[in-house]
Structure 1
Amino acid sequence: MRKSRIGATWALGLITTSFVAGSASAEELALKRVMLSTGGVGYFEHEAQVSGDAELTFDVRLDQVSDVLKSLLAMDPQGRLGQASLPGRAPLSEIFRDLPFSQADLSSTASLLRALRGQMLRVSAHATTMEGRLVAVTEEKVSLGEGQGTIVRNRLSLLTPTGMRQVVLEEADAIEIMDARLRAQVEQALAAIAAYAAADQRTITIDVHGQGERTVRVGYVVAAPLWKATYRLVVPEKDGEAKLEGWALLENMSGQDWNRVELSVASGNPVTLRQAVYESYFVNRPEVPVEVLGRRLPPVDVGAVPEAELAEAANGGGGGGRMMHGFMAAPSAADALMHSARSAAEEGAPEPPPIAEPTEGATQVVFRFPDPVDLPRGQSLLVPIVSESLPIERVSWYRYDVDARNPLASVRLTNDTETGLPPGILSIYENAQANEPMSFVGDARLGALPAGEDRFVSYAVDLEVRVDREEKFAQLVKGAKIARGVLEVRRVEQRTTVYKIKGAADEARVLVLEHPRIQGFTLAEPTEGVIGTTDTHVRIRREVPAGQTVTVEAVLERPIEQSIVIGSITAQELGVLLASTEMSAAVRAALEHVAELQRTLASREEALALLRTERQTLVSDQDRLRRNLASSPQGSDLHTRYLAALASTEDRISEIDRTIDTAEAAVRVAREELADYIANLSI
């Protein structure tokens, strides 16, 4: 099998090609296509010329392997793809799982020897060699004398055939692990640590099978610097057409030069995801107790799958396989992304690239550059994507939350092209006369502009126009009806904002006023000049003659439905309702009759209340007279006077009781008349 190597050098999140000595030629392994997206990713596609069966390999930086595995796309139009494989990402903890020492034990000789306690060692020190089994490694502090402090040494204790021997570790000339197997394990662990520290790359191998010479393409999506759109707009002195130039600023942070690369940039808002597919994950399993004799733990029944479904799964279900097994064998996605780019230009001095060819898709606009692009590594490139004449209208644009006093000098830009324009910053120039220099008037921000739509771009404060603003609030009755004694009142809450626009002294203006929208409210006034709405505002257009003041009243209304039981309406509330001029004559007459009945009832209730108050006063006076009568001598003039007054009070109380009975009857009649009238009232 012929092997062809595609090396991928990673820098700042981008894959580019590099070459390894002894691999296939540069023409076979060239980076051919790059597509940069506003989603913060780039699509990179390589081509390799193969004959018969071949292996294509990529060196990928470790922290970018997951992106490549997630998006890798291989296309062999005349052959078939076998499988793709790469080394597993075994953590160091797996390497040390079955070793008698840990990774931390390799941090020092003393730590390793402590972990190897009981092993046979051969130690040479001071021209003496001893062999024995390691008993202990003990720390001890040794004074340096003369106030120079202390040092820590480690003393080895060995059990030798001749007895216990000790040696200071720091004075040993050589220490040998006598167990060859254990010595090999230490060597392998150290090699694994070194390899893990240096292995910041993984190699992905793709097998292709076929006959004859053919081109195999491999592409993937990885993080890339965001490309930026910038615009220049040259506006005439009056309304008409403005010249729009758009440029794409992109950067080559891939680590290698782009030579004759078919370049595209895409503007949209794609969903771009990251997933650590190269990490190892384990499923947490429930733990069950160990069964002992006499104890049974029946399994939990979770149901059964019918045999028909099992047979269908066995015939059509797919099992697991090696990673990335079975890529697409024919061009599809990458062709759709890049196929329209033109072939490389003729050799010679590079020329400025022509305007990109835009293509409107379902979710994005793709700008493809017809000629291949050269861009050295680490450099930026400004390439044209738009050159159009678009209709504009010069306006003053006012929003209170942006500037409370002055509108902004703006341009209403209409995209009458066939494709949308990506968002970007916009530099605006004025060209008053054909042969005079340009004048820079300000910068603006252009949002995404789909085909057929328009946008306001504001670039300066219009100091010659001033806007004063006043707010008013009111609640009006707009109508009422009565059903079974319930009054249904239709009210309207109004929020009125008065804008007084003082125009420029020497020039007429077209002012677009953006009035805030409020949830639940609709715009009642004005009814003319409304040119559209945004999510938050209503746009109102007014022409402001030179030196004049124009007033705009924006009225927002919200209907309020209120149901009131007529029997519970107070006289004051009824008076407010009768003051409205929006109710029908029938409803008004009915409410006036209710008011008359309420007045009659109130008058009778007031008379009854006066009688009851008078009787309460007489009863209190009667109690006083009885106390005075009991304390005065019988037969005296004072006693006689108290008796006469007591009799007169008793007669008046009897008279008032008869009058109260009559008044209570009158109140009952008035209340019943009011209730009967209300209960049968429907208008």
Structure 2
Amino acid sequence: MRQIGLATMLLAGTALSALAEDLPVRSVTLSSGGLAQIERSGEVAAGGSVTFRAPTTDIDDLLRSLVVADPAGTVEGVRLPARDLAEEAFRGLPLRPADFESRAALLNALRGQEATATGATGRIADAQETQQGLRVTLITPRGLVTALLREGEEVQLTDAGLAARVARAAEALAAARTADERRVEIGLRADRARNVAVLYVTGAPLWKPSWRLLVPAPGSTQTQARLQGWAVVENASGSDWERIRLALVSGEAAAFHQPLYEPIRVPRIEMPVRVPDAVRVQADTGTRPPPPPPPPAPAPMAAPTVQGGVAERQRALGGAPSGFAAAQQDRADPSAPALPIQAAATAGRVAFALGEPVTIRAGETANVPFLDARLPADRVWWIQDLSARNPLSAIRIRNSLPTALPDGLVTVFGAEGNEAGAFLGDAEIRTVAQGDTRILAFARDRDVQFTTASSSTDRIARIGARRGFVIVDIARTEEVAIAIDPRGGRGPIIVDVPRRQGATPRFPVVAEGDFGLRAEATLAAEPATMRLPFERAVRQEVPLWDAGLGDLVLLRWREFDIEQNQRRLPGGPGTLERLQEILGRTAQDVPGRADLAATVEALEGVRRLLDELRTRIRVWRVTEAALGRARQAVEDRTGQELAEARRRLNAASRESEQAAAVADQAWENWLRAVQALLTRGG
């Protein structure tokens, strides 16, 4: 089927300007926060503009962060197709994207529009493909004219504005087929050629560091480990990176996304159309008595006043940048990176700049070295889990570089002896600030074994008193003992133990952190025991009187079952024995021991008085029982027996009264002793 050049037909009378070549990428800085700072630069002719393509997903970031450096020109603005390109381009046109499926469908969609074809001018009535070519029917003032268009012939729209809009719709339709990217044009105005740079920040796959660590052998005199850093980098920018300057940044900068490229319509409050209000009439219901007057108002009260204030303080943090050049290593295995690496650190941010250009095509993934350094290191054993049987094999490194080291996985290799070149294991390295130390565990040492045991001992540190209580301050030692058999091995062993709330470690703590408390010892080929004691202050209060019995003065022995409640009473079983046991465990030089001894002696006296009281109460109960029997006998007897029963009743009554008086005296003696006991320490 013959075709007519649609560009010529649709652009009738309009000119197409040649698109400028894309401004190339010169420099890329990748952030561990998932951002990329891209710099494009190149020479721009006088009156020229800057154009380049960018992924649609990056346009929001580009619009908010774009910076143009033009030494001799003026920036007019940034232009790019609309987000919904096709919808905007077809708005107001008698066309839809489906009309571009064929030239006949396109002309039929333009029915009624005035056009010129093969010298005839009229309004388009119909278009149809035939064997001979495209037959177009035009309506002219004199009737219908049919034009047959052959190769190279065109249809021109009389309305140049409509023709231009149709051309833009066709361009938008073509651009919409690649909706994942947009062409950005930056308008510049200058009278001469010059070098222009464009800088912007977009989202990007974060670069992922990985580490290679060559460690000395156990017991070696070597005091350094070699650390090499490699970075996995993805080019998802949609543009080739041809011999660019690449920098890798590790930091936690705040980053936001805002939909600047998305059309946003602000909802408005809908105002109703005003119409006349309906006429409403209340029916007359007659008269009513007037309402009573209100009561007189009370005198006003003064309002309370409230005074308050808010204090605000602001702190400003800052730091001076610093940098260093990593020393090139001459060792042959493994090889040092071919390009020199520069690292620079500022507050909270570390940047590694590769010293030679890098080429990464769009969509490619690269693995590039960014660090090669030697750090102070030593081999150690590390116990993290006290319930395990074997310690971890680990390397302790100190960051002697003037920059921080970012997170990553470490592949550990041996550097000497039987381990030379051998894979030893993997470890995880978390961000290491300048001067910080990290322990990297890469395996478990099955040769070395350990066993743990826990114990707790109490030592009375002080005795005190307050009214009704003996205060015992105890120093409790909670100890973790670790028996270690190094099987002939020598070197440092590090143990991490959890913190204990309220307890103070009584062993040298070399470090504290999320791991808890860290202790260290040196094994010398023989079995050894590490002891890690904690001391906790414990206070015990021994009550001398049960507060649940109420006020001591208000108690009456006749209304109180002493036998049933004797454990709650001073002098009863329990309290005295407990204090005697505490006194027996208290060293002679403990403060307050003499007072405790005096309290125990006083409580022993209270015990004797309580036992005497209990005896007197039992005697009284016996006499009370006899008195009750005597009363019953008087009621059951008559004649001579009644007189004898009355005599016995009088005798039993006297005995009961005497027993009660003796019990009262015993109660008073016990009460006075208890009151004297309870006032100790008051």
TM range (shorter): 0.5 to 0.7
- Paired position in structure 2 for 1:361: 346
- Paired position in structure 2 for 1:651: 654
From 515, 537, 542, the counterpart of 2:516: 537
- Paired position in structure 2 for 1:397: 382
Query: Does the Cα contact within 8 Å between 2:86 and 2:173 map onto a contact in 1?
Result: no
From 585, 602, 614, the counterpart of 2:619: 614
Amino acid at match of 1:426: V
From 448, 465, 490, the counterpart of 1:465: 448
| Pairing of 1:58-137 with structure 2 (within 5 A) | 58-84=52-78
Q: CA offsets, 1:586-625, max 9 Å, x none?
A: 6222222223223323432342343334323433442233
- Paired position in structure 2 for 1:479: 462
Query: Does the Cα contact within 8 Å between 2:216 and 2:378 map onto a contact in 1?
Result: no
From 590, 593, 598, the counterpart of 2:595: 590
- Paired position in structure 1 for 2:530: 552
**C-alpha separation between the residues in 2 aligned to 1:420 and 1:212?**
45
In structure 2, relative to structure 1, the CA distance for the partners of 1:566 and 1:656 (3 Å cut) is: closer
**C-alpha separation between the residues in 2 aligned to 1:362 and 1:519?**
34
From 214, 222, 235, the counterpart of 2:202: 222
Amino acid at match of 1:656: A
Amino acid at match of 2:521: R
In structure 2, relative to structure 1, the CA distance for the partners of 1:92 and 1:674 (3 Å cut) is: farther
**C-alpha separation between the residues in 2 aligned to 1:564 and 1:97?**
90
- Paired position in structure 2 for 1:384: 369
Does residue 626 of the first structure (1) align with residue 631 of the second (2)?
Answer: yes
**C-alpha separation between the residues in 2 aligned to 1:606 and 1:91?**
105
Q: TM-score, normalised by structure 1?
A: 0.65
Query: Does the Cα contact within 8 Å between 1:353 and 1:369 map onto a contact in 2?
Result: no
In structure 2, relative to structure 1, the CA distance for the partners of 1:389 and 1:58 (3 Å cut) is: closer
**C-alpha separation between the residues in 2 aligned to 1:474 and 1:251?**
61
Amino acid at match of 1:393: D
**C-alpha separation between the residues in 1 aligned to 2:626 and 2:428?**
90
- Paired position in structure 2 for 1:522: 504
In structure 2, relative to structure 1, the CA distance for the partners of 1:488 and 1:624 (3 Å cut) is: closer
From 18, 22, 35, the counterpart of 1:22: 18
Query: Does the Cα contact within 8 Å between 1:230 and 1:426 map onto a contact in 2?
Result: yes
In structure 2, relative to structure 1, the CA distance for the partners of 1:624 and 1:196 (3 Å cut) is: farther
From 353, 359, 375, the counterpart of 1:374: 359
Does residue 39 of the first structure (1) align with residue 18 of the second (2)?
Answer: no
**C-alpha separation between the residues in 2 aligned to 1:285 and 1:616?**
96
Amino acid at match of 2:515: T
Amino acid at match of 2:514: D
| Pairing of 1:196-345 with structure 2 (within 5 A) | 201-202=181-182, 204-237=184-217, 238-240=220-222, 241-279=224-262
In structure 2, relative to structure 1, the CA distance for the partners of 1:69 and 1:481 (3 Å cut) is: farther
Query: Does the Cα contact within 8 Å between 1:239 and 1:393 map onto a contact in 2?
Result: no
Number of equivalences: 511
Question: Could you tell me how far 1:501 is from its partner in structure 2?
Answer: 0.4
In structure 2, relative to structure 1, the CA distance for the partners of 1:482 and 1:294 (3 Å cut) is: farther
- Paired position in structure 2 for 1:673: 676
**C-alpha separation between the residues in 2 aligned to 1:376 and 1:90?**
29
| Pairing of 1:418-433 with structure 2 (within 5 A) | 418-433=402-417
Amino acid at match of 1:535: D
Amino acid at match of 1:531: V
Range with greater deviation from structure 2 (279-288 or 534-543): 279-288
Amino acid at match of 2:627: Q
Q: CA offsets, 1:373-429, max 9 Å, x none?
A: 12233333222222223232111111116x700011111122222322222222222
Does residue 603 of the first structure (1) align with residue 588 of the second (2)?
Answer: no
In structure 2, relative to structure 1, the CA distance for the partners of 1:92 and 1:467 (3 Å cut) is: same
Q: CA offsets, 1:617-637, max 9 Å, x none?
A: 43344223322432234324x
| Matched position secondary structure for 2:521 | strand
**C-alpha separation between the residues in 2 aligned to 1:193 and 1:25?**
20
Q: TM-score, normalised by structure 2?
A: 0.65
- Paired position in structure 1 for 2:492: 510
| Matched position secondary structure for 1:44 | strand
Query: Does the Cα contact within 8 Å between 1:355 and 1:384 map onto a contact in 2?
Result: no
Amino acid at match of 2:409: I
Question: Could you tell me how far 1:462 is from its partner in structure 2?
Answer: 0.9
Q: CA offsets, 1:481-524, max 9 Å, x none?
A: 4577876543334321110001114x324211222223333211
- Paired position in structure 1 for 2:286: none
| Matched position secondary structure for 2:639 | coil
Amino acid at match of 1:664: W
Question: Could you tell me how far 1:677 is from its partner in structure 2?
Answer: 4.2
Query: Does the Cα contact within 8 Å between 1:494 and 1:557 map onto a contact in 2?
Result: yes
Range with greater deviation from structure 2 (197-206 or 489-498): 197-206
Query: Does the Cα contact within 8 Å between 1:480 and 1:488 map onto a contact in 2?
Result: yes
**C-alpha separation between the residues in 1 aligned to 2:92 and 2:579?**
93
**C-alpha separation between the residues in 1 aligned to 2:432 and 2:680?**
65
Query: Does the Cα contact within 8 Å between 1:500 and 1:551 map onto a contact in 2?
Result: yes
Amino acid at match of 1:23: L
- Paired position in structure 1 for 2:305: none
| Matched position secondary structure for 1:496 | strand
Q: CA offsets, 1:436-495, max 9 Å, x none?
A: 962222222222223322221222211111010112234443224457787654333432
**C-alpha separation between the residues in 1 aligned to 2:72 and 2:381?**
62
Range with greater deviation from structure 2 (59-68 or 548-557): 59-68
- Paired position in structure 2 for 1:331: none
Range with greater deviation from structure 2 (352-361 or 76-85): 76-85
**C-alpha separation between the residues in 2 aligned to 1:455 and 1:75?**
44
Question: Could you tell me how far 1:573 is from its partner in structure 2?
Answer: 4.7
In structure 2, relative to structure 1, the CA distance for the partners of 1:196 and 1:418 (3 Å cut) is: closer
**C-alpha separation between the residues in 1 aligned to 2:613 and 2:196?**
108
Range with greater deviation from structure 2 (282-291 or 375-384): 282-291
In structure 2, relative to structure 1, the CA distance for the partners of 1:352 and 1:418 (3 Å cut) is: closer
**C-alpha separation between the residues in 1 aligned to 2:638 and 2:171?**
129
Question: Could you tell me how far 1:254 is from its partner in structure 2?
Answer: 3.4
| Matched position secondary structure for 2:257 | coil
**C-alpha separation between the residues in 2 aligned to 1:476 and 1:70?**
69
- Paired position in structure 2 for 1:417: 401
Q: CA offsets, 1:72-111, max 9 Å, x none?
A: 3333344443444556657999999999xxx9xxxxxxxx
Amino acid at match of 2:494: V
In structure 2, relative to structure 1, the CA distance for the partners of 1:391 and 1:614 (3 Å cut) is: same
Question: Could you tell me how far 1:202 is from its partner in structure 2?
Answer: 5.0
Query: What is the aligned-residue identity percentage?
Result: 27
In structure 2, relative to structure 1, the CA distance for the partners of 1:384 and 1:407 (3 Å cut) is: same
Amino acid at match of 2:213: L
**C-alpha separation between the residues in 2 aligned to 1:192 and 1:635?**
144
Question: Could you tell me how far 1:640 is from its partner in structure 2?
Answer: 5.9
Q: CA offsets, 1:514-548, max 9 Å, x none?
A: 22223333211x34xx43222232222222222x2
| Matched position secondary structure for 1:405 | coil
Amino acid at match of 2:666: A
**C-alpha separation between the residues in 2 aligned to 1:489 and 1:84?**
81
Amino acid at match of 2:215: V
Question: Could you tell me how far 1:34 is from its partner in structure 2?
Answer: 0.9
